[in-house]
Amino acid sequence: MDTMLSNLEGVAVYLDDIIVVASSAHELMSRLDVVLNRISQAGFQLQKEKCQFMLDSVKYLGYIFDKDGRRPDPDNINAIKNMPTPTDVTTLRSFLGMIGYYSMFVPQMYKLRHPLNQLLMANAKWHWTKECQYSFNEIKRILSSKLLLTHYNLNLEIIVASDASNYGIGTVISHRFPDGKEKPIAHVSRTLNPAERKYSQIEKEGLAIVFAVKKFHKMIYGRRFTLLTDHKPLLSIFGSKSGIPAYTANRLQRWAITLLAYDFRILYKSTEKFGQADVLSRLIANQKQESEDSIIATISLEEDIHQILQVAINATPLSAEDIRRYTQEDGGLKRIISYLEHGWPAHIDNKNIEQYAHRRNSLSLVDGCLMFGNRVIVPTSLRRKVMLELHAAHPGVARMKALARGYVYWPNIDTQIEEYVAKCSACAKAMKAPRKTEMQSWGTP
């Protein structure tokens, strides 16, 4: 059936269900004539009693389609409404599977699903709490309300809003109509995997943006659109006209390159003012297993980032295990990791940590090691060992700084290098007694 009716505009096929759509009665009749001729030429017949023509709305694949958009099929919603309270993991999974089909209609599903998801975790004991019952009832109530997603239109402005929480990322694509109103086309979201949950907040927000453009690629590629984020630092990274900042964290640099393929303007807007996306910070509609492509892409990126870390570590006398262990024992760096994972405070009372705060957009956590751009951040107790290695060949201040800037970082490292070289007796002697070059005569031309 798919092959028989392929390449026909306004025609969609799923198994033996055929839908024909048009913007006018004349156009519909013309398209219908082509479809019926194709079916007749292939030797098939249609049962008249199963056919419906010239409808203003149609029920198709669990949705009701009309000129305004699409909404859930009331019959399916009634089946969800009539489901009894789950009594075990199997019945809970059945309920979550049914509501998952309509998750694109509900931007705050994660907020409601969270108590239910806890019961699905490994080794979790079954205990149906008041919070579980509230979520169960509220999900059914929301799905029973008037839900509508507008149709995609090539002539209308596109708005893409994305956001991230500690456990998931979500996005909504909308149209802005001539009257200024925004109407959603679809909501999409997913949970973060264990590696992604360790990202800094700016990296999670960046991941949400890349997730959005990949999910909506077919609707936005080749079109100018507006990208909304509630994380201001991303404007200078993803929206800079002068290129990607040099010390941007590695993951963000790679995502910025990905976004170069799209034509967009990026704007800051607080989450509360997102309109259709006002609850995106909790938008994680499904605990779905990630697609194979998504998993491969994540693994590929993480392998690249780990390779950069390893290159930096190989240039030092340390191992990754040394840096991981001493980072966890370093009170200041532990605070930095906590701020990266949970957000930076408005005021910082420590001068060393304040220096990291000024560079927060360039910091990342890779395999338990902190990085500043491509440079590994060395814990306090290991810095003298690194300094000895940097100065092993007595390279002088300029060369020593160049080596450090390629691989390692900590606050005031340049000043400490200058002081270290100034105290080196071998370097001092070399400066006082520069090597003399023997005099030689010029040859006869």
Residue 267: CATH number of its domain: 3.30.420.10
Same domain? 176 vs 271: yes
Last residue of a domain, one of 144, 171, 190: 144
CA distance 47 to 8: 22
Q: How many CB atoms lie within 10 A of CB 208?
A: 27
Same domain? 137 vs 164: no
For residue 110, is it within any domain?
A: yes
pLDDT by residue for the chain (445 residues), tens only, comes to: 677 888 888 888 888 888 898 888 899 999 999 999 998 988 888 888 888 888 888 888 888 888 888 888 888 888 888 889 999 999 998 888 888 777 777 765 666 777 888 898 888 899 999 999 998 998 888 888 877 888 899 899 999 998 888 777 888 899 999 888 888 888 887 778 878 888 888 888 899 999 999 989 999 999 999 999 888 888 878 876 656 665 566 788 888 888 888 999 999 887 555 544 433 433 333 334 444 444 434 444 445 555 556 666 776 777 888 888 889 999 999 999 888 888 888 888 888 888 888 888 788 888 788 888 878 899 998 888 888 888 887 788 888 888 888 888 988 889 988 888 888 877 777 665 555 666 777 777 6
CB 216 within 8 A of CB 173: yes
Last residue of a domain, one of 144, 174, 192: 144
For residue 152, is it within any domain?
A: no
Same domain? 272 vs 163: yes
Same domain? 326 vs 424: yes
Total residues belonging to the chain: 445
For residue 190, is it within any domain?
A: yes
Residue 363: CATH number of its domain: 1.10.340.70
Last residue of a domain, one of 267, 282, 297: 282
Same domain? 268 vs 235: yes
Same domain? 233 vs 313: no
Same domain? 360 vs 399: yes
For residue 1, is it within any domain?
A: no
- Please list, in sequence order, all residues whose beta carbon lies within 8 angstroms of the beta carbon of residue 180, skipping any fewer than 6 positions away: none
Query: What is the 3-state secondary structure of the chain?
Result: CCCCCCCCCCEEEECCEEEECCCCHHHHHHHHHHHHHHHHHCCCCCCHHHCCCCCCEEEECCEEEECCEEEECHHHHHHHHCCCCCCCHHHHHHHHHHHHCCHHHCCCHHHHHHHHHHCCCCCCCCCCCHHHHHHHHHHHHHHHCCCCECCCCCCCEEEEEEEECCCEEEEEEEEECCCCCEEEEEEEEEECCHHHHCCCHHHHHHHHHHHHHHHCHHHHCCCCEEEEECCCHHHHHHCCCCCCCCCCCHHHHHHHHHHCCCCEEEEECCHHHCHHHCCHHHCCCCCCCCCHHHHHHHHHHHHHHHHHHHHHHHCCCCCHHHHHHHHHHCHHHHHHHHHHHHCCCCCCCCHHHHHHHHCHHHEEEECCEEEECCEEECCHHHHHHHHHHHCCCCCCHHHHHHHHHHHEECCCHHHHHHHHHHCCHHHHHHHHCCCCCCCCCCCCC
Same domain? 196 vs 92: no
For residue 248, is it within any domain?
A: yes
CB 396 within 8 A of CB 421: yes
Same domain? 192 vs 261: yes
Between the alpha carbon of residue 31 and those of residues 8, 19, 24, 99, 237, the distances in Å are: 8, 11, 11, 35, 48
Residue 47 lies in domain: 11-54
Same domain? 139 vs 164: no
Give 57's strand partners. 66
CB 318 within 8 A of CB 175: no
For residue 439, is it within any domain?
A: no
Same domain? 15 vs 113: no
Half-sphere exposure for 157 (CA within 13 Å, toward CB): 12
For residue 317, is it within any domain?
A: yes
CA distance 63 to 81: 16
Same domain? 139 vs 161: no
For residue 291, is it within any domain?
A: no
Q: How many domains does the chain have?
A: 4
Q: What is the pLDDT of residue 237?
A: 81
Burial of 323 (0-12, 13-18, 19+ CB in 10 A): buried
Q: What is the pLDDT of residue 307?
A: 59
